[in-house]
Amino acid sequence: MSDNSDLQKIKAAAAALDYVQDGMVLGLGTGSTAAHFVRLLGDKVKKGCKIQGVPTSIATQELALSLQIPLLDIEKVTHIDVTIDGADEVDPQLRLIKGGGAALLREKLIAHASAHMVVIADEGKMVDILGKFPLPVEIIQFGVAITANKIFECLRATNCEGTDIQLRYKSDGTTPLVTDNGNFILDCHCIMIPDPIGLCAQLNAIPGVVENGIFPIFANTNRTLVLGTSEGAKVVELVS
pLDDT at 239: 54
**Number of domains observed in the structure of the chain:** 2
Q: Are residues 10 and 73 in the same domain?
A: yes
pLDDT at 16: 98
Q: Are residues 32 and 84 in the same domain?
A: yes
Q: Are residues 147 and 190 in the same domain?
A: yes
Confidence tier at 240 by pLDDT (50, 70, 90): very low
Q: What is the CATH number of the domain that holds 202?
A: 3.30.70.260
- The answer to whether residue 3 scores a pLDDT higher than 80 is no
In sequence order, the 6+-apart residues with CB closer than 8 A to the CB of 50 are 22, 23
Q: Are residues 122 and 156 in the same domain?
A: no
Q: Are residues 13 and 101 in the same domain?
A: yes
Q: Are residues 111 and 199 in the same domain?
A: no
- Active-site residue among 107, 138, 161, 211? 107
Q: Are residues 44 and 121 in the same domain?
A: yes
Whether 123 is catalytic? no
Confidence tier at 138 by pLDDT (50, 70, 90): very high
Confirm if 176 and 144 have CB atoms less than 8 A apart: no
Q: Are residues 166 and 72 in the same domain?
A: no
Q: Are residues 90 and 166 in the same domain?
A: no
The residue range of the domain holding 193 is 135-212
Mean pLDDT confidence for 129-143: 98
Residue 159, Ramachandran bin (φ over 0: left; ψ between -120 and 50: alpha; else beta) = left
Q: Are residues 18 and 89 in the same domain?
A: yes
Confidence tier at 1 by pLDDT (50, 70, 90): very low
Q: What angle do CA 166, 85, 240 make, to 5 degrees?
A: 105
